[in-house]
Structures are given as structure tokens and as C-alpha cells.
Structure 1
Amino acid sequence: MASPKARIEPHVAVIPAPELGPDVYTNANPLTLHDGPRPVFGGFLISQALSAACATVPHTFQPYSSQSSFLAPAKGDEKITYRVQRTREGRNFLTRVVHATQGVDCVHVAVISFQSAACSTGVNALEYGTPKPELDQPPEDINPDAIQALQSSMLDRSASVMQQSAEDRPLDWRPHSIEMSDHPTQLRVRGYVRSPTPLSTSDSSTHLAAFAYASDEFFFGPALAANPAAVGKGFRNVTMGASLTHNVSFHDRNAKIDQWVVLERETTWGSAGRVMVQQKFWNLQGKMILSGSQEALIRLKGANI
């Protein structure tokens, strides 16, 4: 009997669409838990583009980089088509460009790079990484409802994310701390995340796609939390927030999304209506497994952007 799928697995899954041509895929499951044309969460696009690209490379290659641009809002009640271009075929490195479309509109583009296992292990290479922050409370000691409580303290109840129940969420987030300062760039958000149930597969591409999904959840929140006076209580002065670009580097091909990982996020810049946020993930043993950045549009009341 096959193991039951974890809630994150349908979110990152794609299926071939050979009737549309070679190397074409579409989402295997609905893109939203809610009815109607609500815009699609970017994590769906990032992770499913990665899954589509992974389906076109030999199993001996694993992704090490995903560079994405969000071009237009995707509608939750329409299928997304992922067309994969085999841009480079090298002995040790491969590149895929994925265009995600709805109808005639391209809503998302991703450049995804792969490295062979033979080239990434057993080589004479530099070995280092930013140390994991030492958190004084393990994830098991943090209330599973803490993420909902944190959102409730910061967001108006009408926000779409506030309509999610614990059963809606594919990942278990346990916030640990928010280190505040007078300067936005000194803010640090730290916590833990994992899939609450084991994945039904040990396939590394599925786990990495799930990490790609996780890398977009709550991501530009630190830019808002770091500027409380400007955004207002409950972010009432924010009229728009949208991701523009999203980049992920995978540092451990064997990382497992169903094991606790530590994350830290910060905002490094804000100007011209845009903000930049950085993140890092580590396993509990201290190995860095992911890092990334996102640039987002933040529009405040009265802004002419």
C-alpha cells in the first residue's frame, strides 16, 4: 500500500500535457483552496516550475538555483501551463527556462540550473556556510497555533491569509522570535518549519520543490514588520504587496522538508516602492540548506507608483 501523501505534495505536483507539445506540464491539482479567480500564491508557481524542470533532466542531476520573475497575477480558477525549454545540456551542468502561462498570458518565468551528483560530491572544493542562529526553544515547545496568533496580532482579519485554518496549511510554521531595532535592516525573524507529516517519497526533487514553496510563504513580511510606523497597525497603510522576483539557491540536495529546519529572514533595502528580503535555512545539525532573496512591490496609501 502506498504511503498517504503529505499536504505539501499536491501543491508542488505537475503532470505532463503531451497534447500541448513536448516538455509541457500543467498543475496536477487546484491552485487554491478557495473558489473563484483569487490570485495564486507565488509558492505554487515557483515550486511547480521547479517540478516541471526536474521532470526533463536525468535523475543524477539536482537543482541548485531557481531565479524567478512574476509577470502578472495568475488566476486560481484556471490551469497553468509550464513550457520547459532545454536551454543548456552540459556534462555536469544543465539549464532549463520555464514559462508559466494562462491562455495567451505569461504569468511567471523561471531559470532553473542543475548540477550532476558526480560534480557536486567528492571534489576538492571550499566548504563553509553562515552559522545557524542558536535558538533557545526547540520547535516542539512552541505552540502549533503560534503562527496564527502572530498573524492575528499583525493583520486585519479580512486578509486572505487569515481565512486559512491549520488544516489548510501544507507546512507547520513555528515562529521563535522577532528581533527588532530602530533600523529596518537590523530586524531578524527566526523560527522553524517542516511538513507536519512525512512525504510519501524520498525523491529529492519533491523535497526541494517543497522547500521552494516554503521559501515564498510570509516572505516579504519582514519588510512590513521592520517599518511599523510607516505601514500602520494591522498594515492598514499598505494598499498593495506583490512579489516581483524570487531567487533560491539549494545548498543540500538531500535536505528533507519533513524534518525541522531553522530559518532566519531580514530586509536589506527599501526604496522606489520596492523592498528586498533575504532568507537562510539550516537543518538542526547546523548545515545551511537554502538561501534566497525576494524583491517585492509595497505600495502605501498616497503613493504614486
Structure 2
Amino acid sequence: MPESLEDLVELLDLEMIDVDLYRGRQPQTALQRVFGGQVLGQALAAAGQTVDDGRIVHSLHAYFLRGGDTTVPIIYRVEGTRDGGSFSSRRVVASQHGKPIFYMSTSFQKPEPGLDHQEPIPADVVPPEEAPTLSSVLEAQSGRAAADWDREWSALDVRLAGVTGRQFWIRAAGKLPDEPALHACVLAYASDLTLLGASLLPHGIVLGDRRIQPASLDHALWFHREFRADEWLLYDQTSPSASGARGFATGRLFTEDGRLVASVAQEGLIRPIGLDLSK
């Protein structure tokens, strides 16, 4: 994965190879398949390049079709499905080896005033300055050195915000340019990092357990309010259901001062491959 925030920004800077056709490069990684957040972020970056300035993303809905190959670039084709007076819709297909690996529909809106309400930020979370890093928590759970986890996820600063393992503080590990579209792409990248694990926690299992075959199946993200991805966001997660070897989880992202800036929903594969289900 990107070894620094600068590498992540470069990863999201796609090469335009033709009209509505883009190529995304791959980072060095020990992962066996492309991280889903990378495809989300790159697909959103591709779609955003085809939309008029002044329109900002407000939602995306995506399906992961095949595991991505980490050794070759990903090609993103953008279809301009509609440009209306207030909204622009795009469809993105990501492909490798001549086959689609990912579909995404996304919508952009011209900012306008309207009614405003939100749920409050959860109480009793550990402040980010006092919270343990995700790499140290994973080291304790898996036995794999924290430095190994840091090498894969060093573009992000992620910390455990609650004892349940369902709340995390998350931000880019450094300063980002003042480009809202880039901040949205970085948040899309980060939104896939811990969410699938929420559906394993009720069963006393952590993501990375070799008795489970995990994979993101679909992913939806709604952007509610302005934010910066290089400032702390509380990622509050829960899993309403797991069944049929699939886990469903939702998440809410709040700024430190309590503004709800995004909501996430995801269903993922959590197939037991070495787990005794009779217990």
C-alpha cells in the first residue's frame, strides 16, 4: 500500500489516456489483491475529472466484482450518464486483463441551502491524542509486528477510539492540499479499511484471522457536510447483521467538534474456511 500520504496522493492522480478513460497505477504491497479503498478512491477521482467545477460528490454506490491484480494498472472508464441543472451522475467501470473488476455509480451536486439536522456524535470516546494506534492494536491481536502494519497503512493515521473495537479516529497522515475533491477521494479510500471487521466482532473474531476469507462485496458512501480528510474524524461503526457468509456493517464519520460529515454502508464476504460453526 502507499508508504506515505504523498504516495497516496500520487495514487489518486490518474493518467488520462483518452476521453473519459483513465489509468491508475499500483503501489508496492504485500497484499494478494488490490485494497478495495484504493479502487473506490481512484474511481471517484476518475469520475470527478469529468464533472464541471463547483459540483461536489454527495454519494457513491459500488460493487466489487473480482479481486484486483496488484501487479498491473487499473483502467477506469467513465460514462457521463446525466448532467442536469443541479446534479451530475457518472458510472465508472474499472477493468484489468480485459475484464471488469468493479462498478460504481456516483452523483455530484451544485451546493445549495436546505433543511439541516443530524444525530449527535457518540459520547465517551477516547480522545485521539490518548488513543492507541491501530498498528499497535493489530500487533497485540495478531502477533505480527506493528512495523509491518505501518508499512501497509502509513498513509493514514488510525487509532482505536473505544474499547468495543467499533470506533476509530482516522485522518490522513500529513497535510493535504485545499482541494475538496481530493479530500473526498482520501475519505473513500479510508472508509474501506476497518468497516468489514465490525461484522466479525460480535463473534469474537478480528479481521486478519486466517479462519475467515474476507472480501468487500459492495460499498456505499454519502457525503453530508464539508470536511478535511487530514483532520481527525471519528469513524463510528456497527454491524446490524451477519448471515449467509456475508457481514453487513454501517458507519458514521464525525469531526472532532461533532459534525456528521459522511455515512457508509457495506456488505462483505466473511466466509468461514477453518471455523467450527457448531459451537
1:251 aligns with 2:240: no
**Letter matched to residue 174 of structure 2:** T
1:25 aligns with 2:22: yes
Aligned 1:150-165 pairs, distance under 5 A: 150-155=137-142, 157=144, 163-165=148-150
1:289 aligns with 2:250: no
Aligned equivalent of 1:34, options 29, 33, 36: 29
In structure 1, distance between residues paired with 2:197 and 2:125: 23
Tell me the residue number matched to 1:128. Answer: 117
Tell me the residue number matched to 1:174. Answer: 159
Tell me the residue number matched to 2:84. Answer: 90
In structure 2, distance between residues paired with 1:62 and 1:149: 36
RMSD: 2.4
Tell me the residue number matched to 1:190. Answer: 167
In structure 2, distance between residues paired with 1:302 and 1:5: 36
Q: Deviations over 1:86-140 (max 9, x none)?
A: 00111101100000001211000000111112xx2xx3x3211111112453212
Tell me the residue number matched to 1:10. Answer: 10
**Letter matched to residue 29 of structure 2:** H
Alignment length, in residue pairs?
Answer: 272
Are residues 57 and 232 of structure 1, via their aligned partners in 2, closer, same or farther at CA, if it must alter by over 3 Å?
closer
In structure 2, distance between residues paired with 1:91 and 1:171: 36
Tell me the residue number matched to 1:266. Answer: 238
**Letter matched to residue 190 of structure 1:** Q
Alignment partner of 2:194: what SS? coil
Q: Deviations over 1:258-300 (max 9, x none)?
A: 1111110111111111110100001112110010111001111
Tell me the residue number matched to 2:94. Answer: 100
In structure 1, distance between residues paired with 2:5 and 2:119: 33
Q: What is the TM-score normalised by the length of structure 1?
A: 0.82
Q: Deviations over 1:243-269 (max 9, x none)?
A: 1000000112x3101111111011111
- Percent identity, aligned pairs only? 26
Are residues 26 and 134 of structure 1, via their aligned partners in 2, closer, same or farther at CA, if it must alter by over 3 Å?
same
Q: Per-residue deviation at 1:7?
A: 4.4
Aligned equivalent of 1:58, options 52, 56, 66: 52
Computing the radius of gyration from Cα coordinates, the structure with the larger value is: 1
In structure 1, distance between residues paired with 2:257 and 2:14: 32
